[in-house]
């Protein structure tokens, strides 16, 4: 479905981003794996290449505009164009708001929200001319409802939600679509770390989803690929929940 498409996935060294890069590559896309973690990012690309798939690693700290610009330029210089941008990189800091430092707040906002503005800005500059492009942002159910105890994270995801809708409205005339996915708890290293690797907490969290299990990175990747594909050609500005029913209650 994505034969020869050029796809940039941020935060693709781990979790949801990694699985998304793998699924795009399996569908014959040329995938740019962007991450701050060079060791894990290179390993993802090496695995894809050893399976005969087309991929490139670009080291990027996505809180820096210079790195975001370099990421997009490298993708376009290497593969000739940019068709799909998946803004996925993100972090969670669960310090209660009244104890959170300005530094922690800034790190969350810069990583989860500013990075999506910066990557979108430079991607758009390469999509407007050809009048073709898709942006998929990885938001969260916490962009829709307040997840307890992570106020600052929730605020960044609320920002991602409105950034997505604004991209959709402002760039539809250039045939550029923008949508987001809203996962609930997904079984990734991020969830593991926030649980302190405690599997009983994971099991408790799984019960919050009516479906009764944690989501998998594949569950989210499948939704991202749908939103990036022509099968969703009339969908823009949408938030697709991938939450086992969490927000349906």
Ligand X SMILES: NC(=O)c1ccc[n+]([C@@H]2O[C@H](COP(=O)([O-])OP(=O)(O)OC[C@H]3O[C@@H](n4cnc5c(N)ncnc54)[C@H](O)[C@@H]3O)[C@@H](O)[C@H]2O)c1
Q: Binding residues for ligand X, per CB under 6 A? A: 11, 13-17, 35-37, 60-63, 88-91, 111, 138, 140, 183, 185-186, 188-191
Q: Which is nearer to ligand X, 54 or 61 (CB)?
A: 61
**Whole-number minimum distance, CB 213 to ligand X, in Å?**
13
Q: Which is nearer to ligand X, 111 or 126 (CB)?
A: 111
Q: Which is nearer to ligand X, 85 or 138 (CB)?
A: 138
Kindly state the helix (H) or strand (E) to which residue 202 belongs, with its residue range. Answer: helix 199-206
**Whole-number minimum distance, CB 104 to ligand X, in Å?**
14
Query: What span, in angstroms and rounded, lies between the C-alpha atoms of 40 and 56?
Result: 13
Residue 161 to residues 57, 105, 113, 168, Cα–Cα distance (Å): 28, 18, 10, 11
The torsion of the CA quartet 44, 48, 50, 56, rounded to 10 degrees, works out to -80
Q: Which is nearer to ligand X, 132 or 205 (CB)?
A: 205
**Whole-number minimum distance, CB 63 to ligand X, in Å?**
5
Cβ atoms of 72 and 82 within 8 Å: the answer is yes
Residue 172 to residues 91, 126, 133, 148, 169, Cα–Cα distance (Å): 29, 15, 10, 35, 6
Q: Where are the beta strands (DSSP E) in 44-150?
A: 55-59, 84-87, 133-138
**Whole-number minimum distance, CB 183 to ligand X, in Å?**
4
Q: Is 171 a known active-site residue?
A: no
- 153, 171, 174, 246: the catalytic one is 153
Write out the catalytic residue numbers: 153
């Amino acid at each position: 479905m994505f034969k020869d498409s050029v796809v940039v996935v941020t935060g693709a060294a781990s979790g949801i981003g990694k699985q998304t890069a793998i699924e795009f590559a399996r569908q014959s896309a040329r995938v740019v794996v962007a991450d701050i973690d060079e060791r894990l990012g290179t390993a993802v690309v090496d695995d894809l290449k050893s399976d005969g798939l087309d991929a490139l690693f670009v080291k990027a700290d996505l809180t820096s505009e210079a790195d975001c610009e370099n990421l997009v330029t490298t993708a376009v210089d290497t593969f000739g164009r940019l068709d799909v941008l998946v803004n996925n990189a993100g972090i969670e800091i669960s310090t209660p708001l009244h104890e959170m430092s300005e530094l922690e707040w800034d790190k969350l906002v810069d990583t989860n929200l500013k990075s999506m503005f910066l990557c979108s800005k430079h991607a758009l500059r390469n999509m407007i001319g050809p009048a073709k492009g898709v942006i998929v942002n990885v938001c969260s159910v916490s962009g829709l409802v307040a997840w307890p105890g992570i106020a600052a994270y929730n605020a960044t995801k609320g920002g991602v939600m409105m950034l997505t809708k604004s991209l959709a409205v402002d760039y539809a005339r250039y045939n550029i679509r923008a949508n987001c996915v809203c996962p609930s708890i997904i079984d990734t290293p991020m969830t593991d770390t926030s649980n302190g690797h405690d599997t009983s907490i994971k099991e408790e969290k799984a019960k919050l989803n009516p479906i009764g299990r944690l989501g998998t990175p594949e569950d989210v990747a499948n939704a991202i690929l749908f939103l990036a594909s022509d099968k969703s050609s009339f969908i823009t500005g949408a938030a697709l929940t991938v939450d086992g029913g969490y927000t349906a209650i």
